[in-house]
Structure 1
Amino acid sequence: MSIATFIQQEIFAARLASADSHQVLVVYDPDLRYRQLCLDMADKHRVVVDATKSSLQSRAQALEALQHLGQKLIDQLLVYVPVAKPLEDETRQTDPFALYAACGAVFPEGDGDEYRNLCMKAKPDHATQIRSIFDKDPNPSFAVIDAVGGGLEWPNLRTLLEVESSRDILFALLSPSERQQESLKGTDAWVTEVKTLLQNAIGFKLRTRAKSWSSIADELWTYLLFSEFAFDLPTELPEALGTMPRAPAEAEPLIEDLCERLRNDRRTQPAYIDRAERIESELELVNHCQAMADLGRKDTFPFEERTFMHQAIVALQADDTDRVRDILDRHSQSVWTGKGESQAQWDLLGSALMLKEACEQRELELPNYVRNMESLLEFYVCQLRDVDRLHREFEQAVSDYDWQDTFGVMEPVKHRIRQSYGRLIEKVQINFTRHLEQTGWPVTGYLSNTDVFDKLVAPRLQQSGHKVAYLMVDALRYELGVALEQQLKEDGKVELKPALVQLPSITLVGMASLLPGASSSLVLKNTDAGLVPMMGDQAVSTVPQRMEWVRKRYGQRFQEGRLEDFVRSKFDVDDTTELLILRSVEIDSHFENHPDTAPEQITKALQRIRRAVHKLQERGFNQIVIATDHGFFMNTHAGAGDTCKKLPGNWLNIHERCLLGDGAEDPNHYLLSAEKAGIRGDFSKLAGPRSMAAYRSGLLYYHGGASLQECVVPVLDIQLKEAEQPAIQQASVVLNYKNGAKRITTRMPVVELSVETQDMFSVGVSFEVLLEAQNKKGEVVGEAKPGGVVNSATGTITLEPNNKAQVTLRMLMEYEGKFKVKALNPTTLAVYAQLELETDYTV
């Protein structure tokens, strides 16, 4: 099709026929380029008015034609005006043909109607040549444009590759399917066409004399990726790379389009990654470009992504959060984030940015909430607790990345962000301990832990046959309760209440405070063996003692056990049981013994609670109350000397965070009477550091003292509903790894997860999936790395129907061998899909 015919049919005729044009088109053409095209379009159904010679006469002709159009005597009206299109209101008012433009369509309309762009639309396969022509002559004739291509249509390539356009031919040559490769091997008649096509389309002259696809593809990949790299550079190429062949400027759009398609198409992405890594090594780009600080905005090669990461780290240290966010946004979809190790680093940076911004915002708001204890508690429950969540997720991201950070690249980020968090928390803590001395504990108007059983559990047990489960979870701080509330909403009506712990905030005292009658009977004795909580004359220091206290009151209606054993069906619930106590100590245990890696264990603990709730629902329980003994604080911001010296006197040191007894006071400590602190027993006073410091250095995790994180805890009251079939049954889950690859070469492989459904009723429904790698014994050897699409609290991925997600699996460092990646129901652990893989690590 000639350029004239293209403009007549695809532009003018199409615009006349559009619904919005009312069959009227005004063509403004100051260069008289389109006059003959317009005149040639006149026929008995279409009137063409030419305003070139007489404005007065042409206006009359146009008015008459418009009347005929209204009377349906003609079908279309085209008005040709040999002047520039009026752009301002004033010039439109003086334009005699503005009326026709207002009631119909106009040409030109936007940049797409520029002559150059029309030519490229007419000949998309030869866009590079057309750009070159316009660079030399801004007004080439139709004949020059028509001559582009010379009538060649690459018949052999189109037939063998089964594609039409030059753009698609180039894409197929770069990454052909097996069928396309076989077709190319069968003949070499296409080689001559390739040489001409490459020269015309992207200015590439093949050097190789070989006629095989692999040889041509090797050279083409290098030319293509290096050209994009060079186009994107804001400065000149290094001298060592200056002679490398690269595409001319007019080929830049086609080069960028091909590279983007290769990176973003899941079928070609593995090939792109492999080629880019190989070319980067062959050209020694890292060495040649090591002195360059700015490599542009694209990350064609993997080493560029590392430079962008360095820029983001520098920006974060300079408090330039806008710059950090811009880099994160640009690289969130980068092909290199599909590599698990790279994703872990970017996730850490993203967590750092969110925590930093949250700390800065809360620090600005804090002065509005420090007037009294009530307002400070409200601030924590509604807003500050989210900073604790972001801090926990940041520390989890640190744990995920630390093992591979052999050069300490992220150390400046860790230090900067921890200091931001520490600065905010210390300001909050000073105000909290000040109010604690003035107001006392617990605060009137808030639920106390000592009242939880008597107010929320005991009344339900007065109804015969009403089954209540009481989950006593060790160290479930408030922000984790918020996460649990979101997870459990599908199982019933969930009410989250903030509760205030019994001081001191340790397991020994906290678990006793959750027993029946604790509000009136709990006292703390000072014995030779240390602190002993008592209910009347019965010690309740150990699990058996505490459970015996409950059994005395509820007899055969009561049963207890470990939550983990219940989830794993290691014991049965009796039919006569109406009060079931399930105990969980995983969070506190992991933090006490392995504080550096404990954040990831929180996700597992919450998953077990969620499964327990689902099983209780299946067992016919009506109500669940989840309570905890105390919260905790992650003390990662403290330096070596950030400790507090103990007060002199007769004090019992509790968990290096508070003192019970009597003695002196100083400005660094809060001090109040035991009665004012809500403590009954043998101790007269309670004291502790005003700051978040402990009495001993090196504590990454602690509880026992007085802080919002340690003393404000969640209570979840759940009214269960009947179990329903999960909506996921309306869809199918699909797992894929590198387009069918069966071996992983990294301990952080990226798996594609998708939820596919043809059910129209599933539209708008979100599906939740748990991803695990299991060995042949069913043992978990890999899990979805929290962050990004993976919820940090639940460890699950939530997808809309017919959506996909790239999920990084974190394999156990010591595991090697065969395994299955399983997509599971998070509550029932039913298997939706599985993928068999095997490790193939390079040692």
Structure 2
Amino acid sequence: MIGNTVHPLHDYIATQIAHHLKSSTVVVLYDRNGDLKPFFGETGADPSIGGRLDKVRFGEVPANFTAFAGSFLETRLAIEDVTGGDDPERTLVYVSGTVWDEQGSLLMEVEKAGYVYRPVLKQMARIVLKQRFNDVQIDEILKSDAVGYDDLAKVASASADGENASILRGIFDNTSDAIAIIVRWLRGDHADQAIQDKGAVPELRKLLAVRLGLTLPDDTSLPRLRSVAQRHVLGSEFLLDTTSAAITLPGVSAPTTRDQIEAVRAVAERLRRDDADAYEDIANLVQGALGIDDLGIDGDAFGSIDTFKIEEFLVVGHCFRLIAARRFADARAIIEERHGSFWIERSQERSAVWQACRLMTDLGLVASEVQSTIAKANGTVKIWVDRYTDANGWHRIDRAQRELETVVQSCEEHIDEQALGIVRQVYEETAARMAEGFVKALAKADWAVPGATPQSRVYAESVAGSPKPVAYILVDAMRYEMGVELSARIAKVATEQKLRYAVASLPSITPVCMAALQPGAAASFSVVERNGKLGAEVDGTFLPDLKARQLFAKGRLPGSIDLTLDNVLQGTTKALASKIAGASVIMVRSQEIDEAGEGATSYARRMMAGVIEDLARCLTKLAGAGVEHAVIVADHGHLFFAHDRDESMRIDAPGGAQVGLHRRCWVGRGGATPPGAVRVSASKLGYQSDLDLVLPVGTGVFRAGGDLAYHHGGASLQELIIPVLTVRLKADKSGTNTKNQVEVQHDAAITNRIFTVRVSLGTTLFSVERPIRVVAVHAGRQVATIGMADMPREADGTIRLEPKKTVSVGFLLTDEEAKMLTVQVLDGNTDAILYQSKDLPVRLGV
């Protein structure tokens, strides 16, 4: 049988046996070479076991069946009862591996009473095949001694279905897919012996000639034929995908007919899809054999298919040149064509390079858009703020820059320096224009944004009247764009949310702005000097530092509790619920962004990438502990450039009676306002103080202590416009543990800053796609961020997981101090844990 269908060869042999049984009742069938054993196996009998009587059918004729297995006495005893009486039953005796001895057969008595049948397999097969093929074709099929019953059965079955005869198909699991046969043969020599033994080499040559346009002499060996065919397929695909007609490859002539072109492309694509490792080995060998590296081709000569590894390097180099020429849209078009490219997906390092390249175009395109609209913003300060905070506003340039710099940290050695330098320059130029225009508009409006919420009113307007308990999360240095990302991140785990902006207090430094977020600040808030120290005064209380603010808040809010982000993230939800039980206001402080920014630049980039996820996890944890309402707000934003400010961007301090000097602000009395800066009195800002503030107009910095790349304190949009996110949570429902609903693969240890996690749907529980979120955490905090994924991420950061597909997620380790981490897969709608790994040790450099 072929599958569950009886094939023509079986039917013919069964018919012949049935005829003899009907006419002679007892048939002794001699099969010298055992060719017909598979036939009898198809009837349900076992021709290898002797001394047993089975009931079988040959066509419509029922009969007894027994097989000779070395003992004729055993065979005679098996059939004696059914053949020895006056009315014998129809019985077939199968004798294999023995030549019939007409004079001395030990079954002579039975044979004389019945019929001796000595069929020849290939003679019967010829009769069956003549129904479709001519004698020449049949001779070609039958000429090899290695062609047996199963091969002929498959040929006969194929011919019955209207297909051509093919020994080759039988060798490759009877597939009728010629492309599949070629692909499997090209991958290795596992079938070569069968092809040789069964005489299928001519058929293989013909297949290659007809489908691929490849013709070789008849005496070419199979290994040589495979090597030439591999060069033909990959070389032809390469030539067909290039735009230069001048390129030639030794020994390769690309096919010209449409069918052969499509077949070459299909074979190459299936090689990549079905066995990526084998394809990589083949492609590297062919790349060397054809001298692809020495062709001197520019990256703009290729289409969208990367046949050889070198193409990916050349094309990304071309993209970098386009970026360096500020042709961002042209580079982006090429990058989009390369989505899902074989060579990019084979290496996380190369994926990171392409991700960086894409982010460079993102930044360039957004910067171009912002620059084109800045010139039209010469109106009120409110217009500047609205254009920054609109859904598609200027804040997008800050996120694009942050994401680019995060990824660049993992692969900067592979990034074209000129292209990266140009993109960074474009961002700095745009940020400078934004700062200059906004500060001038703000000064013209007497340092107030009409209709905007001052930072000092956030507690009164968003927290004081909120149902209790309420979480009040104060995030140091979170830019508005980060608030937008957080809002998108929690969209599915919050029942309600509203994102708006507020205007931070000046100077935009932590002691001042954190004080402005305290209860009571709406009624009385000033920036003052006390005993030579700069700080804020709320309702008559001087608040110069964290300890003072904590004591003040506790006095104003006796039912409050003060926690850090770490306090919330570490430990169990049950322990958190116990800790905050009875508290009306849960104040949560996050200083991670500012602390990282004031330190090493590369570490800050990676750290910032994880804060958004940490805040989202914090909200989920609080919801699980019974907190239904939350307000997330920043004290100020920040400017963060790739490198220290150039000497030309550094401004001399005003002098005079200095009270405080930071990179982006000077506070004191008197002195001279330096070029590139603007002076504003504290009284104009509404403070009960005789102090003056001097601020850079653009993105320059004062010659002062502090970081030269990361800074705040000034009046740019990035520093002054802060997010206020009011959220209603799904209390007691988020984060329900429903593990083992996805299948996850990852290494047992993390030995590289870039590592991969592969996720697919479980095999039994789900049949439809679902959103997921993959995270890497330690002690409740995110320690690695997603650098790239082979499926596009949604606006909320989730990935669509589809049935029968595996998603590869590339992570960038952000905390190299972590000694271990845990991989989690979360439900994209509820943050429920679908999978959690064991602790994975981090061993960088191993």
TM-score higher than 0.5? yes
Decide whether aligned partners of structure 1 residues 772 and 270 sit closer, same or farther in structure 2, where only a CA change above 3 A counts: farther
Aligned residue for 2:423?
A: 417
Aligned residue for 1:554?
A: 557
Aligned residue for 1:769?
A: 773
Decide whether aligned partners of structure 1 residues 337 and 773 sit closer, same or farther in structure 2, where only a CA change above 3 A counts: farther
Contact 2:610 2:814 (8 Å CA) reproduced = no
Distance 1:302 1:700 in 2: 37
Shift in Å at residue 340 of structure 1?
1.1
Distance 1:215 1:811 in 2: 46
AA partner of residue 770 (structure 1): V
Shift in Å at residue 154 of structure 1?
2.8
Distance 2:244 2:359 in 1: 32
Aligned residue for 2:517?
A: 514
Contact 1:449 1:500 (8 Å CA) reproduced = yes
- Structure 1 residue corresponding to 2:457, chosen from 446, 451, 460: 451
Aligned residue for 1:294?
A: 301
Contact 2:610 2:783 (8 Å CA) reproduced = no
Q: Matches of residues 66-215 of structure 1 in structure 2 within 5 Å?
A: 153-175=165-187, 184=194, 187=197, 189-205=199-215
Shift in Å at residue 821 of structure 1?
5.4
Decide whether aligned partners of structure 1 residues 745 and 188 sit closer, same or farther in structure 2, where only a CA change above 3 A counts: farther
Question: Which consecutive unaligned segments of at least 5 residues does structure 1 have?
Answer: 1-149
Contact 1:785 1:795 (8 Å CA) reproduced = no
Aligned residue for 1:502?
A: 505
Report the secondary structure of 2:649's partner residue.
coil
Report the secondary structure of 1:368's partner residue.
coil
When structure 1 is superposed on structure 2, of 699-708 and 588-597 the one drifting more is 588-597
Aligned residue for 1:668?
A: 676
When structure 1 is superposed on structure 2, of 227-236 and 200-209 the one drifting more is 200-209
Shift in Å at residue 284 of structure 1?
4.1
Q: Matches of residues 660-699 of structure 1 in structure 2 within 5 Å?
A: 660-661=667-668, 662-681=670-689, 683-696=690-703, 699=708
Decide whether aligned partners of structure 1 residues 497 and 306 sit closer, same or farther in structure 2, where only a CA change above 3 A counts: same
Report the secondary structure of 1:249's partner residue.
coil
Q: Does 1:352 align with 2:367?
A: no
- Spell out, residue by residue over 1:612-639, the C-alpha distance to the aligned partner (whole angstroms, 9 max, x if none): 2112212222321112211011123754
Distance 1:194 1:701 in 2: 66
When structure 1 is superposed on structure 2, of 308-317 and 198-207 the one drifting more is 198-207
Aligned residue for 2:588?
A: 582
Report the secondary structure of 2:589's partner residue.
strand
Aligned residues: 670
Distance 1:841 1:204 in 2: 49
Q: Does 1:605 align with 2:611?
A: yes
Contact 1:735 1:835 (8 Å CA) reproduced = no
- Structure 2 residue corresponding to 1:472, chosen from 462, 471, 474: 474
- Spell out, residue by residue over 1:598-655, the C-alpha distance to the aligned partner (whole angstroms, 9 max, x if none): 2332232111211221122122223211122110111237544322233243334432
Report the secondary structure of 1:380's partner residue.
helix
Shift in Å at residue 529 of structure 1?
5.6
Aligned residue for 1:99?
A: none
- Structure 1 residue corresponding to 2:495, chosen from 474, 480, 492: 492
Aligned residue for 2:565?
A: 563
Aligned residue for 1:222?
A: 231
Aligned residue for 2:348?
A: 340
Distance 1:706 1:800 in 2: 46
Contact 1:373 1:436 (8 Å CA) reproduced = yes
- Structure 2 residue corresponding to 1:524, chosen from 520, 527, 534: 527
Question: Which consecutive unaligned segments of at least 5 residues does structure 2 have?
Answer: 1-161
Shift in Å at residue 791 of structure 1?
5.2
Shift in Å at residue 586 of structure 1?
0.7
- Spell out, residue by residue over 1:355-403, the C-alpha distance to the aligned partner (whole angstroms, 9 max, x if none): 211111222222332211111111111111112111211222322321x
Report the secondary structure of 1:526's partner residue.
strand
Q: Matches of residues 763-802 of structure 1 in structure 2 within 5 Å?
A: 766-772=770-776, 783-786=785-788, 789=791, 796-799=798-801
AA partner of residue 253 (structure 1): E
Distance 1:612 1:780 in 2: 11
Aligned residue for 1:438?
A: 444
Q: Does 1:616 align with 2:622?
A: yes
Aligned residue for 2:139?
A: none
Distance 1:669 1:778 in 2: 44
Contact 2:171 2:191 (8 Å CA) reproduced = no
Contact 1:495 1:717 (8 Å CA) reproduced = yes
Contact 2:653 2:703 (8 Å CA) reproduced = no
- Spell out, residue by residue over 1:107-150, the C-alpha distance to the aligned partner (whole angstroms, 9 max, x if none): xxxxxxxxxxxxxxxxxxxxxxxxxxxxxxxxxxxxxxxxxxx9
Shift in Å at residue 448 of structure 1?
1.4
Aligned residue for 1:376?
A: 384
Aligned residue for 2:327?
A: 320
Q: Does 1:733 align with 2:733?
A: no
Report the secondary structure of 1:459's partner residue.
coil
Q: Does 1:310 align with 2:322?
A: no
- Spell out, residue by residue over 1:41-89, the C-alpha distance to the aligned partner (whole angstroms, 9 max, x if none): xxxxxxxxxxxxxxxxxxxxxxxxxxxxxxxxxxxxxxxxxxxxxxxxx
Q: Does 1:718 align with 2:727?
A: yes
- Spell out, residue by residue over 1:406-453, the C-alpha distance to the aligned partner (whole angstroms, 9 max, x if none): xxx421121111222222222221121112222233434211111112
Contact 1:567 1:611 (8 Å CA) reproduced = yes
Distance 1:595 1:840 in 2: 23
Report the secondary structure of 2:702's partner residue.
coil
Distance 2:250 2:435 in 1: 63
Shift in Å at residue 546 of structure 1?
1.2
Contact 1:204 1:247 (8 Å CA) reproduced = no
Distance 1:288 1:582 in 2: 61
Contact 1:677 1:686 (8 Å CA) reproduced = no
Contact 2:306 2:341 (8 Å CA) reproduced = yes
Distance 2:626 2:822 in 1: 34
Aligned residue for 2:632?
A: 626
Shift in Å at residue 493 of structure 1?
0.9
Shift in Å at residue 243 of structure 1?
3.3
Decide whether aligned partners of structure 1 residues 340 and 186 sit closer, same or farther in structure 2, where only a CA change above 3 A counts: same
Distance 1:771 1:221 in 2: 41
Q: Which has the larger radius of gyration?
A: 2
Decide whether aligned partners of structure 1 residues 167 and 839 sit closer, same or farther in structure 2, where only a CA change above 3 A counts: farther
Q: Matches of residues 225-304 of structure 1 in structure 2 within 5 Å?
A: 225-235=234-244, 242-250=249-257, 251-263=260-272, 265=273, 267-289=274-296, 294-304=301-311
Root mean square deviation of aligned Cα: 4.0
Contact 1:476 1:630 (8 Å CA) reproduced = yes
Shift in Å at residue 815 of structure 1?
11
TM-score, structure 1 as length reference = 0.71
Contact 1:603 1:793 (8 Å CA) reproduced = no
Report the secondary structure of 2:490's partner residue.
helix
Distance 1:745 1:227 in 2: 39
Report the secondary structure of 2:388's partner residue.
helix
TM-score, structure 2 as length reference = 0.71
Aligned residue for 1:392?
A: 402
Distance 2:656 2:315 in 1: 57
When structure 1 is superposed on structure 2, of 310-319 and 298-307 the one drifting more is 310-319
Report the secondary structure of 1:369's partner residue.
coil
Aligned residue for 1:36?
A: none
Distance 2:240 2:837 in 1: 43
Q: Does 1:364 align with 2:372?
A: yes
Report the secondary structure of 1:589's partner residue.
helix
Contact 1:467 1:577 (8 Å CA) reproduced = yes
AA partner of residue 259 (structure 1): A
Distance 1:674 1:791 in 2: 46
AA partner of residue 699 (structure 1): L
**Percent pairwise identity:** 24
Aligned residue for 2:35?
A: none
